[in-house]
Amino acid sequence: MPKVYLSPSNQNDEFIIGGSEEYYMNKIADAMVPYLRGSGIEVTRSEPGKDLSMAIEESNAGNYDLHIGLGSISSPYFSTGSQQGPIVLYYNDNNKGKQAAEVIADNFKSIYPRPNLVATSSNQTLSELTDTKAPSVLVEVGYHNNTLDAYWIRDNIDAIGRIIALGVSQYFGIPFVKPQTKEK
């Protein structure tokens, strides 16, 4: 059974439409967990408010097959609102991280309104990518200072969680199983 460490952002960066990055990324993590577990993937997630260094420490203390960070990004002040689209980051010296990033990004294209804006990018400075023992990706689901992205994120929490979980199951080469719903 593959093991994943899920690390939603603890940043209080304000979304242009209200709410914080931490709030929305924890909602996406909440949506992901049933899909991952339903597919037979063991999940540990950092607690809301946990410092990033503590989450990395916790991830490194376990024997995880993939570390997934969730966040949003902002355009620089001189171009606020002009940049758009999800970016899946990976450590440039890690082929497994790159493979996971590419699968997740390819899946994002099926739900993001402008698929040509979905991208992957290597990074060699972000601690969530460089300091984790497990292959890692940082899924920046969109720009929180772009009105269209902010509304898209808010209105598509479950779809975003599902599509990331689908990418993770594909990365591991296991069937994606939708969680069972309880009958009322």
The domain that holds 114 is classified in CATH as 3.40.630.40
Mean pLDDT of 39-60: 93
Q: Is the pTM of this model over 0.75?
A: yes
177 in a structural domain: no
81 in a structural domain: yes
In the predicted structure, residue 183 carries a pLDDT above the cut 60: no
The whole domain housing 146 covers 3-172
Mean pLDDT of 159-170: 98
**Cα distance between the two ends of the chain:** 31
180 in a structural domain: no
Residue 55 buriedness (CB in 10 A; 0-12 / 13-18 / 19+): buried
> Measuring CA to CA, which residue among 72, 63, 86, 40 is closest to residue 132?
63
Tokens 């970016």 found at: 87
In the predicted structure, residue 97 carries a pLDDT above the cut 80: yes
166 in a structural domain: yes
Q: For residue 170, what pLDDT is reported?
A: 98
181 in a structural domain: no
142 in a structural domain: yes
Mean pLDDT of 61-81: 88
DSSP helix/strand/coil, 70: strand
29 in a structural domain: yes
Looking at the structure of the chain, the number of domains it has is: 1
Average pLDDT along the chain: 93
Mean pLDDT of 59-70: 97
